Amino acid sequence: MTTPLFDVVAMTEHWMRARPGTIACRVDRRRGAETLTYGRLDELITRAAARLARAGVTAGTRAAVMIPPGRDLVAVVLALLRLRAVPVLIDPGLGARAIGACLEEAAVQAFIAVPRAHLARVVLGWARDSVTTTVTFATYALWFARIRRHAGTPPAAAARPRAPYADDLALIAFTSGSTGVPKGVPFRHRHLAGQIELLAHLGALEPGATVYSTFLPFAVAAPAMGCASVIPRLDLRRPGRTDPAAMAASIAAHGVRGLFAAPALLDRLTRHCARHEQVLDSLQIVLTAGAPLPFPVLRRAQRCLPAHADVRSVYGATECLMVAMADAAELAGTAAETACGAGTCLGSALPGNRVRVIGITDQAIPRWSDDLMVPAGAVGEITVAGPAVSDPYLVRPRETALARIDDDGEPVHRMGDLGWQDEQGRLWFAGRKSERVRTADGEMYTDQVEPIVNALPGVRRSALVGVGPPGGQRPVLCVECEPGTPRRERREIVERVRAAAVGGIGQVLAHPGFPMDVRHASKIRRPLLARWAARELGGDER
């Protein structure tokens, strides 16, 4: 495709010209918040772009960015996009070894980071052979650049790059998904354009709105949509530990209209507000993603919001960010079915996405056929095709083969999630494919069991795991009680769960506190729980 594309940078620059004095970004700090207007943001981006260009960053340069969340991260990423370079975004919580592997896979040429990240790169040898440019960043008054040029490499061009084409590589993001193995996801500018269109359907990023997001890509997307983004103080290694009191205070102080948070973080925030009888009066819309939204969390959130506010659960993945959406009315209307084992309603596919459910298999599927689809109401693997579906994974042909199906040249992404579609076309979530329990009598799915248990008094959350080899696993229910529950009551809760005999499961174990994924606070680390359950029962943990 050779047609220039109206891109994220052009959208941001439109608002910079139209409303230079309007707030583009607010950054929460220990001592108050820092405010950034569109005019000031433009200055920072221009200054960063000039310095990066002088350091040797040009169109197409793959540049790893390791800067803490804040105005600097936003400005540097937008500066790279302005230069038509390719930001490489890596979750710092992955760990040193995984970060090094990601840098190698992405073949990064520039490394833009704070001093401690540079130290780690040198000591651990990250991307030693590919990095030719390093930029050490402390503040905008202090930049150090070092260039190691290959023979014959020309100096950076000073001219402003052309507008991007739809098929130009825009950025690379790394995701681990359910496998724990980081995979590089390449996005072209047409993918970003598709995601911007999908964002418009969510109703949160409207011009003039103030948006509070614990999901950092929104900090870049919000200014492009004419919004003011509030960037909270985040613990990158433990996102779920973000202080709910600080969140509530920031939302009130900035008059936040839209909130984006994972269900686990929304749970912590609403518990805090409930204890202090606080209503977040400014909020008009709350978006959750990263895991299905439990109905008890929705109900508690509604008590902490003004009557006109809406809560929407967004379903998606890094490879195709937004797939479907369910609003509060839909979630409330299907809560009884969820409590009876139907799974969690994910709502309808967003415009432009084509969602289909195929038979469950752990094998690769090279080509699409309509024979792959299961009948309406049957559980299978969820697939999606649409304008925001990314390119194949970097240098990971096996993972790409397991995640993609070719449909006459159109990529179909296998979500790795199990679910079904009802007669209205709505999508329902049954659980992760890798987490299904394969017993001798058939398969059991986590989200068709756990919501039933979670509705019982005293249960904070539950997890269905399998002990033993696939095809002969014993289903075990692990139960975490509400915080502060006395030991005697914990025993009573376990007996209550056992007596309920959900799914005919007789093995119920109380766990003091589930191991959670520190990068995705809503995700239970089920393999660890399964090994723990096997030890408790004296069984085979394979």
What is the DSSP code string of 304-363?
TS-TT-EEEEEE--GGGS--EEEEHHHHHHTHHHHHTTS-EEEEEEPTT-EEEEE---SS
Of 341, 277, 349, 271, nearest in space to 316 by CA? 349
Phi, psi of 54 (to 5 degrees): -65, -30
Domains (range + CATH), the chain: 45-149+161-189 (3.40.50.980), 439-537 (3.30.300.30)
Q: How far apart are CA 252 and CA 273, in angstroms?
A: 12
What pLDDT is recorded for position 87? 96
Contact 367, 358 (CB under 8 A): no
Q: What is the pLDDT along the chain (542 residues), one digit of tens a residue?
A: 444 455 788 888 999 999 999 999 998 887 778 899 999 999 999 999 998 998 889 999 999 999 888 888 889 999 999 999 999 998 877 788 999 999 999 999 999 998 889 999 999 999 988 998 888 876 544 556 666 654 444 444 445 677 788 899 999 999 765 556 789 999 999 998 888 888 878 877 788 889 998 777 777 788 888 889 998 876 555 544 678 999 999 999 999 999 998 898 899 999 999 999 999 999 999 999 888 898 889 999 999 999 999 999 999 998 998 999 999 999 999 999 999 999 999 999 999 999 999 999 999 999 999 999 999 999 999 999 999 999 999 999 999 999 999 999 999 999 999 999 999 999 999 999 999 999 999 999 999 999 999 989 999 999 999 999 999 999 999 999 988 888 888 889 999 999 988 888 989 999 999 988 765 556 888 999 999 999 999 854 44
Contact 229, 255 (CB under 8 A): no
Beta strand 133-139 pairing with 110-113: parallel
What pLDDT is recorded for position 241? 60
DSSP structural state of residue 373: B
| 3-state SS, residue 30 | coil
For residue 508, list its beta bridge partners: 477
The residue type at 114: V
How many CB atoms lie under 10 A from the CB of residue 14? 14
The pair of three-digit structure tokens given for residue 462, joined into one six-digit string: 């539950």
The pair of three-digit structure tokens given for residue 532, joined into one six-digit string: 């723990």
Q: How far apart are CA 428 and CA 107, in angstroms?
A: 39
Q: How far apart are CA 487 and CA 489, in angstroms?
A: 5
Q: How far apart are CA 16 and CA 267, in angstroms?
A: 36
| 3-state SS, residue 140 | coil
How far out from the chain centre does Cα 65 lie?
Answer: 18
What pLDDT is recorded for position 159? 57
Burial tier of 492 (Cβ tally within 10 Å: 0-12, 13-18, 19+): middle
What pLDDT is recorded for position 217? 75
Q: How far apart are CA 172 and CA 186, in angstroms?
A: 4
For residue 357, list its beta bridge partners: 382
Helices in 408-521 by DSSP H: which ranges?
450-454, 487-500
Q: How far apart are CA 498 and CA 477, in angstroms?
A: 9
What pLDDT is recorded for position 437? 96
What pLDDT is recorded for position 46? 92
Q: How far apart are CA 15 and CA 45, in angstroms?
A: 14
